[in-house]
Every structure is written in C-alpha cells, then in structure tokens.
Structure 1
Amino acid sequence: MLKGKQSWLFESQPSIISTGVSGGPFEANGNLANDFDILHEDLWMGQDSYEKAHRVLIEEAAQTAIQKGNLQKDQFQFFIAGDLINQITPTSFAARTLQLPYMGLFGACSTSMEGLALASFLINYQGANYILTGAASHNAAAEKQFRYPTEYGGQKPPTAQWTVTGAGVAVLAKNSGNAADPVTTSATIGKVIDMGITDPFNMGGAMAPAAADTITAHFNDLGRNADYYDLIVTGDLGRIGHETAMELLGKSNINLTEEKFKDCGMLIYKSDQPVQAGASGAGCSASVVYGHLLNEMKKGTYKKILVVATGALLSPLSFQQGESIPCIAHAVSIEMP
C-alpha cells in the first residue's frame, strides 16, 4: 500500500527465508569474513576474465540461497538482480545459467535494496511465491571499467573507496510464520539527487545527499523517527559520505548517533586494510546485509533495521563528457517478526 509520497507498506510482511553470500580474497581478510558462505582465494575464481569471475560470484550466491532455503529452482517465479558492469552482463549471464524469469536492474550500488523493494512489492500483492533478489560487484572488473585497470597501479586520493568483490542474494517468500525469518515491512523509493559533484573518486560525498533525502522521506511518509529502528545503515557512503549524511540529516532535525547510524562500506573491512574512505560497489550492501546484518538480527542484536542502499548513476561516458554525478538511495525496513 502506498504511504505518503514515495513509500510502500508491506502489509503481508514477506519473509527473507534464506540468503547466499560469496566474496573474494580481500573480503576473506576483512572484518566480516565469517558471515560469507563462500570465499575465494583469488580474483580470477577459475575464470579467464574478471567479468566471468563476477558472474561466478552471482551464480554461487544464488545457488547457495536456494539450497539453504531447501527449495528447487522451479519453485521461483523471478530472479531480480543487477551489478555495475556494462549492460549488467555478469548478472544477465548468471540468469542464463539459472534459467529463471529475469528482471535485470541497474541502480548502481543501490541495486540491492531496489531489488528487495520490488520483490517485496510483488509478493505483497500476490505476484509471486518465491523470488531471488540480490546484487554483486567485482573489484578488478569495476576498476577496469570506471577507473584504471589494477595493473596500471594508479594512485587514489583519500576520498576514494574500494569496490567490494562480493555478491549477496536473498530468497524472499510469502510470510513463513517462522519467528527466525526476518520480514520486510516497508520501502521508500528514492529520487535522483545531483549536487553537481564531478569527481568519480568522491562517490561518498556525491551520494550522501541522496541518502539523507530518502531517510527524511521515509520518516515523513511513515510517520516514524529514528527511535523506531535499532539501526539505520547506508549502503556504501564510506567515511566521507557517512559524515556528510549525518550533517545533512542534522540540518533536518534528524540527529543520529554513531551507534545508531552505520555504513556497510565502513563495516566490511578492517581498519588496517588500505581502502581509503571505505568500501563501495553493488556487492557491498548486498553482502553486508544478507550476511552480517541478518545474522546479527537472528542473534537478537537488532530487531528493526532500515537499510538505505546508495548508488551513483554515472557511466564512464558521462564522466568523460564532463557530466556531474546523479545519485539515488532506496530504503527497505527489515524487522524480526
């Protein structure tokens, strides 16, 4: 049901009954390694290109989620997912392997919650019984497309972020009635916000206004405030964007503490890993949410969280033509029933 101007309330509360999370070698040395189902020793993953390795990540995460849910592929109505690479080809090629009805998404790093919001909407209105949804990214593939190939060894400024090599996929279903299964209760679809930033090495700063705008809209539409949630987590603003978002929210009288307001891009890696301002990538929020945060919810650490996945909607061509960076954020509330 529509609430306010840009939010949905999911009255049937679809259940996240299982997840699959895969990652690379850098993530295996990170802060949340124990929350991954599969971790690879190298970026190639037995393939002859990084893009093919990217596809493997998605296939593994999807197959793991299906297996953990004790389901068969023919029980699913849709696969809703995306990534960062040209024409989301890694996800589309994974969909070729999965052989499920497929809706490909490009919301950049906001794709994980865009997919979860749409999947929840479909199930809430009886458009499906089971949906696979997720997002993925691969560090070397993204570097090659958006910046410089890793072999080039280009230097980066402190505002830059490290693209996660990871995939997170969830199985969303009609309310299972199982108290151990988190449920989606609402979503807020963001607007494109562009503050004129043109620096592709400052994604966090570019995306922060979109995150603040969506959080504000979510509270206004649903008549909630920060006290409703145990945790509000952004997708991958990193240290620079996180600080900026906190400041912007404060100007709207939404004052959040560091304990209440966190960022997936600041959680996934250890403090001594050389990631500049933190992590990024479509696989960042997907792997942190579908791995670490849902595990913490099942342990009882959190009962209600708001996930605000942020995305920078640029392309190499738009950057080369001097365009600024349009950004977006989508929010989904996840609760323990």
Structure 2
Amino acid sequence: MLKGHQSWVFENKPSIKSKAAIVGPFEGQGPLADDFDIIHGDMYLGQDSWEKAEKALMEEAAKMAVQHAGLTEGQIQFFLAGDLMNQIISSSFSARTLAIPYLGLFGACSTSMESLALASYIVNSGGAKYVLSGTCSHNASVEKQFRYPTEYGSQKPPTAQFTVTGAGAVVLSQDGDGPYVTSATIGRVVDMGISDPFNMGAAMAPAAVDTMEAHFRDLQIEPGYYDLIVTGDLSKVGYQIANDLLKKHNIPIHQTTYSDCGMMIYDYGKQNVQAGASGCGCSAVVTYGHLLNRMQRGELNRILVVATGALLSPLSYQQKESIPCIAHAVSIERQR
C-alpha cells in the first residue's frame, strides 16, 4: 500500500525466510567476523580474475540463502540483484548459473535495499511465494573500474573509502518466523555538485537524509520508533555530514541509535581503510549478517536500513559530470 508520497507499507509483512553473508579475507579481520557465514582466505576465490571472483561470491551467497531456506533454485520465482560492474555482469552471470527468472538492478551501493524493497513488494502483493534478493562487490574489481588498479598503489586521501569484498542474499516468503519487512521508502536522486570519486561519503549524505526525512514524513513516525537506524556506506565523512543535516532539518535522530555500515565492518585502529567502507556488499553483509543476527537474538526489534548509492560511472567522470546519489530505506521488524 502506498503511504504518503514515496513509501510502501507492506500489510502482509513478507518474512525473511533465510539469509547468507559471505566476505573476503580483509572483512574477516574486522569486528563483525563472527556474523559472516563464510570468510574466504583468497581474494580470487579460486578464479583467474577478480571479476570472476565477484561473480563467484554472488553465486555462493545466493545458493546458500536458498539452501538455508530449505528450498531449491527451482522453487524461487524471481531473483533480484545488482552490483557495480559494467552492465551488472556479476549479478547477470550469476542469474545465468542459477536459472531463476531474473530482474537486474542498478542503484550502486543502494542496491541492497532497492532489491529488498522490490522483492518485498512482489511478495506482499502475492506476485510470488519466494523471491531471492541480493548484491555483491569486490574491492579489487571496483577499485580498478572506478579509481585506480590495486597494483598501482596510489596514495588515497582521508576522505576515500575502501570497497567491501562480500555478497549478501536473502529469501523472502509469504509466511515464516521473520524478521519481517514492514515498509520501504524509495529515494530521489540528489546531486549537490560533488565530483570527487574519493569523497563519496560527502556526495551521498544529502540523499540519505532526504530519504530518511521522507520516510518519517510518509509513515508519520519519528526516529525513536526504531531501535537502530543505519545508513549504507557514508563512513566517517558522510556520517558526520548526515548528522549535521539531520540536525539542520530538525529531525530528532537523538531519539535512537544511528550508525553506518561503512563504519561498522572494519576496525579503524587496525585496518587502513581511510574514511571507512563502501561498495554494494557493504550494507548487504552488515545487514544480512550482523544486524539480522542481532534481531534473531532479540537485541533489536525494529531497524531502518538506509542504503546509499553514488550513481556515477567511469564515463560520467571522464565527461566531468558531478555525482548523482540516491538512498533507499527498508524497515525490518522482529515481530509481525
């Protein structure tokens, strides 16, 4: 059901029947290591390129989520996924392997919640019994495409972020023990004129706040409704800007705990990640690993995940375009 201007309320509350979160070796050295299903020790995952390794991550997470649901790929009606590679090849080639009817999505790093929101809409409306949703990223393939190849060894400024190597997937169903997806707010494209690909947090923060403001307005609630609100991958720079903007817009974020997935996955004291994490896999593995585990333990009852994405490409950067950004918010609750 449409609520307000840009939000959906899912009256049937689709259930997250199963989940999977798989990461690379660097993520396995961070503080959330115990929440991941698999930690790979090899960035290549036995493949002969980083791009093929990223595809393998997506396939592995998708298959594991289906297995955890006690289902087969043939029982899944639709697979919704996206990534950062050109023409979202990691997801599309994974769909080739899975042989599940497929909808490919591109929302940059917001794709985790874009896919979850759309999958929830399909299940809530009775359009499918089981829908698989997921996304992935790989540090080496993304850095090579958007900034500099890893081998180049370029020095990065403090505002730069470190792309997560990881994939997260969930199976949504019409029934189950939860947690449940209860609402979603679809974001607008916001562009504040920032063009520096080494300062993504600053570019994405206004979009995150715009979507949060719309979510609270449409649902007529305040931040205190949630036990935790997390943005996707603003990291230190964007997180501070978001806090400043929330205060400026008189949004009482102090009512709840507000954090950022990009600040949670790595140990700033031990890992050199500049401002923090980014990538499609960032909010996916933090949400489908750490946060859903906390919900299952009863530590969190209601969370709002606001995944953020920078909609640039190497082509737009070469043409000296600024960075348009977007954020999608999904609320997840432990009980119906």
- Shorter-chain TM-score: which interval? over 0.9
Distance 1:257 1:62 in 2: 36
1:219 aligns with 2:216: yes
Distance 1:277 1:148 in 2: 17
**What amino acid does structure 2 have at the position aligned with 1:280?**
S
- The answer to whether the Cα contact below 8 Å between 1:246 and 1:255 also exists between their aligned partners in 2 is no
Question: In structure 2, which of residues 322, 328, 331 is the aligned counterpart of residue 330 of structure 1?
Answer: 328
**What amino acid does structure 1 have at the position aligned with 2:293?**
N
Structure 1 partner of 2:239: 242
- Residue 107 of structure 2 aligns to a residue whose secondary structure is coil
Structure 2 partner of 1:273: 271
1:203 aligns with 2:203: no
Distance 1:34 1:58 in 2: 20
Q: Once the 2 structures are TM-superposed, how far is the Cα of residue 111 of structure 1 from its aligned partner?
A: 0.0
Structure 1 partner of 2:139: 139
| Superimposed CA distance per residue, residues 130-185 of structure 1 (whole angstroms, 9 cap, x where no aligned partner) | 01101100000001100111000011000000000000000011032x2xx20000
- The answer to whether the Cα contact below 8 Å between 2:201 and 2:237 also exists between their aligned partners in 1 is yes
Q: Once the 2 structures are TM-superposed, how far is the Cα of residue 72 of structure 1 from its aligned partner?
A: 1.3
Q: Once the 2 structures are TM-superposed, how far is the Cα of residue 90 of structure 1 from its aligned partner?
A: 1.0
| Superimposed CA distance per residue, residues 185-230 of structure 1 (whole angstroms, 9 cap, x where no aligned partner) | 0000000000000110000000000000000000000000011000
Distance 1:11 1:258, change over 3 A: closer
Q: Where has structure 1 moved over 4 Å in runs of 4 or more? A: none
Distance 2:244 2:298 in 1: 30
- The answer to whether the Cα contact below 8 Å between 2:84 and 2:142 also exists between their aligned partners in 1 is yes
Structure 2 partner of 1:229: 226
Unaligned runs of 5+ in 2: none
| Superimposed CA distance per residue, residues 42-72 of structure 1 (whole angstroms, 9 cap, x where no aligned partner) | 2111001100000010011011111111111
Structure 1 partner of 2:101: 101
**What amino acid does structure 1 have at the position aligned with 2:328?**
H
- The answer to whether the Cα contact below 8 Å between 2:223 and 2:255 also exists between their aligned partners in 1 is no
Structure 2 partner of 1:175: 175
Q: How does 1:25-104 map to 2 (within 5 A)?
A: 25-104=25-104
Further displaced range: 252-261 or 202-211: 252-261
How many residue pairs match? The answer is 334
1:190 aligns with 2:190: no
Q: Once the 2 structures are TM-superposed, how far is the Cα of residue 38 of structure 1 from its aligned partner?
A: 1.1
Distance 1:185 1:25, change over 3 A: same
Q: Once the 2 structures are TM-superposed, how far is the Cα of residue 256 of structure 1 from its aligned partner?
A: 2.1
Question: In structure 1, which of residues 301, 317, 320 is the aligned counterpart of residue 315 of structure 2?
Answer: 317
- The answer to whether the Cα contact below 8 Å between 2:227 and 2:256 also exists between their aligned partners in 1 is no
Unaligned runs of 5+ in 1: none
- Residue 126 of structure 1 aligns to a residue whose secondary structure is coil
Distance 2:208 2:51 in 1: 29
- The answer to whether the Cα contact below 8 Å between 2:310 and 2:323 also exists between their aligned partners in 1 is yes
**What amino acid does structure 1 have at the position aligned with 2:120?**
S
- The answer to whether the Cα contact below 8 Å between 2:212 and 2:306 also exists between their aligned partners in 1 is yes
- Residue 88 of structure 1 aligns to a residue whose secondary structure is helix
**What amino acid does structure 1 have at the position aligned with 2:331?**
S
Structure 2 partner of 1:161: 161
Structure 1 partner of 2:119: 119
- The answer to whether the Cα contact below 8 Å between 2:83 and 2:106 also exists between their aligned partners in 1 is yes
Could you say what the CA RMSD is over the residues aligned between the two structures, in angstroms? 0.9
**What amino acid does structure 2 have at the position aligned with 1:326?**
P
1:308 aligns with 2:284: no
Distance 1:319 1:213, change over 3 A: same
Distance 1:94 1:72, change over 3 A: same
- Residue 108 of structure 2 aligns to a residue whose secondary structure is coil
- The answer to whether the Cα contact below 8 Å between 2:161 and 2:198 also exists between their aligned partners in 1 is yes
Distance 1:296 1:6 in 2: 29
| Superimposed CA distance per residue, residues 105-147 of structure 1 (whole angstroms, 9 cap, x where no aligned partner) | 1000000000000001001110000011011000000011001
Distance 1:258 1:287, change over 3 A: farther
Q: Once the 2 structures are TM-superposed, how far is the Cα of residue 258 of structure 1 from its aligned partner?
A: 9.8
Distance 1:98 1:24, change over 3 A: same
What is the aligned-residue identity percentage?
65
